[in-house]
Structure 1
Amino acid sequence: MKANSINPNNVIDNSRFHSYHFWLIFWMFLLIMFDGYDVVIYGASVPSLIKEWGMSDVTAGAIGSYTVIGTAIGAIMFGMAADKLGRKNIILLTTLLFSLFTFISGFANNPVTFTIFRVIAGIGLGGVMPNVIALTTEFAPKRIRSAVVSFVFCGYSVGAIVAALTSRSLLPTAGWEPVYWLAGVPLLFLPFMMRNIPESIGILVDKSKEEDVKKILYKIDSSLNLKAVIHFEKQVKVPGSPIIRLFEEKRALSTLMFWISCFCAFVLIYSMNTWLPRLMMQSGYDLSSSLTFTAVMQLGAIAGTLIFGRLVDKWGFKKVLVPLFFCGAIALSLIGFTKSTSLAFIYISVIGASSVGVQNMSNAFVSQYYSFNMRSTALGSTMAFGRIGGIVAPTFVGVLLTLNLMPQYNFAAIATAAILGGFAMLFVQEKHGNYHKERSHVKNLKVAK
């Protein structure tokens, strides 16, 4: 490499954490927070919607499933589009979609109109998450990358907590509509995000926008000489479909296992987010107490993500994620038998860490397992397949509820997803991924020193 040349990835990887990273993480966190808010408000408002529109549990579950179909479409469509159109543009577009249509869902006066608005909002939500992960992964310093990505996805749980507490306050007095209107807040932030969210360095390099790249790199490292002639190394373009490349170079088994584990995590997430209040009401709690359980589950997700996210950087992903999946299965199997509120809170927090928390860290795993030029595609396809679990879960649990089974049987049925997810993650082959190569390189450098 020439003396005056620079590798943008090295600048980012070795950078110190400062205000530029802080504001990027702030906006990414905010977007994921409203993602979590959007998912939980439906579960919180289901009892009110069933009462107002006279729906059955199966119909209410089906509406939740249709919404997730939209997120699956959005995940794969916008995940692939971002590699060509730019991650910033897609993030802005999808934020507009999910925020606007969640907002107007609060004006729906029948289940059909409500479902249409929710599906369109779901398409936007599906496109936000993979691109937020990819952009956060690209700009985070390497030494804290896993922790930063995991932290950003704590925003999901924060949003879910806000949704639970807001619903608890508004539903008894103002009805379900204002809960959806609050989801329009991100529309006010779009001009600020347009100004402050950077475009992907890799995409700018591929488009030969070197001056834009220099400006971003200078904000990250002000010691760079912008007057020098800087040589940017472009990514080598590989022919063929990005999806097919996920299965090449001995990655096929791991790709399938990522998809299955994501499917299982979304079964857990959407089963609990859609039906936890109803399941806990079936177990003898009132609506207000049941919404408190939703908040506790998200607190468990945040604690699990932050604590185990740090351990991931030391031990590796599999040593953390596999046991967490199995712990979730145990907690789900036990919660239906306990009559102690304190124990129920503990089990619920473990379930939060083993569902939302696991998915947060799995997102970081996928984003680092694949190289830059297929990262958005990998995340989009994994989450699109995973959201099939989110499609199945609301209707599946809705059917379970119509069978009038004992509460412990309903929870045990959901627990099977955690067991399958743990085994799927166990079969991911770290040695064939970009993540393993980077960790091996770092270890070799330490040995050389």
Structure 2
Amino acid sequence: MTAQTINVNAVIDKAKFTPFHLSVVLWCLMIIIFDGYDLIIYGVALPLLMEEWALTSVQAGMLASAALTGMMFGAMLFGMLADKIGRKNVILICVALFSGFTFLGSFASGPVEFGLLRFVAGLGIGGVMPNLVALTSEYAPKKMRATLVAVMFSGYAVGGILSAVLGKLLIADHGWQIMFNLAGIPLLLLPIIWKFLPESLTYLVKKGHTEKAHTIFQKITPEVVAKDTQLVLNEEQTPEGAPVKALFQNGRAISTFLFWVSFFMCLLIVYALGSWLPKLMIAAGYSLGTSLSFLLALNVGAMLGAVGGGILADKFHLKPVIITMLISGALALVGLGFNSPQPVLYLLVAIAGAASIGSQILLYSYVAQFYPLSVRSTGIGWASAVGRIGAIVGPVLTGALLAMKLPHQMNFLAIAIPCILAAAAVILIKRKAFEDGKAPIAQPHVVSYSAEK
């Protein structure tokens, strides 16, 4: 008798939202909250670090880029590694790196030691992002995929909000070190994450881990699946050992390049604002406490923009939503250069957060829906890695602008320009290639699903 065959991806696409889906989103959300916290605390601590270590604006910008450089290499390395050893294993490694080495940063005696610790932490921060996006995107039902990825990734903004709030409450009495001490909490949660975070079902099927795959599959669908059922992965066959080359095959080359440009520009804005917004507002005449409130507004806007944008994207399409957000962000940044009532400034900062961080989150979802499963982590990882170059440039460029003592409005005008360039890159992406999240498909990859294997 011929064994039953089930297309795993088709079942996931059509599945109803279940407690299992909720658990995947919540675990990934929790991890990305700590990831965002670990990254944004540098912007919170920056004014005190500059004073304690007598850093110039350029030196402070270069120090900010230490973590961002690590993120670039981490995104490349761990994106590809996940396709080989599994996303869950890579996520656990990355959590240990970014949590442990951010914690150690509180004991740094000077900028050089601090920069080295931030670089290693950056490896984990950059490596965990593409894998959390890929895991959430893989398990999310198709009709709400963009929304779930956006909700999960909004945890990055929640981490930024948490960082800003704790900074206002704790730094004055306990110094900047307390922020880095708190970053060690995820180390205590590693055993729990290992127990409850599921591995990629695609990875388990491809590697022949049939019992684990069967257990997860039963949580996705109420149907009883026989042990001898064959699972079919609806994915493109990728030459072994050449996943990066696959990003440029089957008509994906131009879109891959455009995604890289949009990631570069978006991340330049994200980290220029994330690292320097409090200092920019201090330069404009506001106190440290008020300036940290602007950082809070930035991340609240990012969270609302990401979730709202994800809902709109599932109704319409990611492309027009991202373009609209980026253009709105450019206008908001230009508006920040002019004297306005404080509530108006908070609103403009929130719009800038929705446009920069929110658009970046939606771009991750856009990329995740484009590449086939066999190279999804690699595709997201490389787009993120190229974007990290922009993230490195952002803080350094903003520090140089402040050192030039230009008029206040010129600083924000300079940061608005990459918003327009990112929007232009997204406009040029061929939407047709992404319809229904599909890329050209070769013959399905079939794996025998039996207890004896």
**TM-score of the aligned structures, taking structure 2 as reference length:** 0.94
Show CA shifts across 1:166-223 (max 9, x none): 1111111110001001111111111111011111111111111122111101122233
Name the CA distance, whole Å, in 2 between partners of 1:192 and 1:338. 49
**What's the CA shift for 1:284?**
1.2
> 1:120 maps to what in 2?
120
Give distance in 1, aligned partners of 2:237 and 2:62.
42
User: How much identity, in percent, do the aligned residues show?
Assistant: 40
Give, in whole Å, the separation in 2 of the partners of 1:158 and 1:392: 24
Q: 2 CA distance for matches of 1:237 and 1:260?
A: 27
| C-alpha spacing 1:436/1:7, structure 2 compared with 1 (3 Å) | closer
How far apart, CA to CA, are the structure 1 residues paired with 2:408 and 2:295? 17
In the alignment, what sits opposite 1:446?
A: none
The answer to whether the Cα contact below 8 Å between 2:370 and 2:438 also exists between their aligned partners in 1 is no
Aligned to 1:191: 191
**Number of the residue aligned with 1:65:** 65
Q: Partners in 2 of 1:154 and 1:237 — Cα distance?
A: 32
Contact 2:278 2:288 in 1 (8 A): yes
TM-score normalized with structure 1 length: 0.95
- Is 1:221 matched with 2:221? yes
Q: Deviations over 1:27-64 (max 9, x none)?
A: 10011111211121101101101111111111110011
Task: Please state if 1:301 is matched with 2:298.
Answer: no
Paired AA for residue 280 in structure 1:
M
Residues 36 and 156 in structure 1, CA contact (< 8 A), matched pair in contact too: yes
Partner of 2:45: 45
> Which consecutive unaligned segments of at least 5 residues does structure 2 have?
440-453
Letter in 2 for 1:110: G
Task: Show structure 1 runs of 5+ residues with no match.
Answer: 439-449
Task: Letter of the 1:97 partner, please give it.
Answer: L
Give the CA deviation at 1:4: 2.4
RMSD, aligned CA: 1.5
* Equivalent residues in 2 for 1:135-214, closer than 5 Å: 135-214=135-214
Within 1, Cα distance between the matches of 2:178 and 2:34? Answer: 15
Q: 1-side partners of 2:435 and 2:133: how far apart?
A: 16
Partner deviation per Cα, 1:331-354 (whole Å, 9 max, x = no partner): 111111023101101110110110
| 1:373 is the counterpart of 2:374 | yes
Indicate the larger mover: 245-254 or 229-238.
229-238
CA shift, 1:435, in A, is: 4.1
Task: Return the letter of the residue paired with 1:233.
Answer: V
**CA distance in structure 2 between the partners assigned to 1:2 and 1:213 by the alignment:** 21
Runs (4+) of structure 1 moved beyond 4 Å? none
Q: Report the counterpart of residue 396 of structure 1 in structure 2.
A: 397
Aligned pairs, number: 437
Matched with 2:335 is: 334
* CA deviations over 1:138-167 (Å, ceiling 9, x no partner): 111111111000000110010000000111
Equivalent position of 2:422 in the other structure: 421
Q: Which residue of 2 aligns with 1:232?
A: 231
1-structure distance, mates of 2:133, 2:101? 23
Instruction: Return the alpha-carbon distance in structure 2 between the equivalents of residues 2 and 44 of structure 1.
Output: 62
Partner of 1:447: none
**2: CA distance, partners of 1:134 / 1:434:** 19
Determine the structure 2 residue equivalent to 1:362: 363
Report the alpha carbon displacement of residue 434 of structure 1 after superposing the two structures with TM.
6.5
Contact 2:3–2:228 under 8 Å retained in 1: no
Query: Is the counterpart of residue 74 in structure 1 residue 74 in structure 2?
Result: yes
> Do the aligned partners of residues 385 and 368 (structure 1) sit closer, same or farther apart at CA in structure 2, a change above 3 Å counting?
same
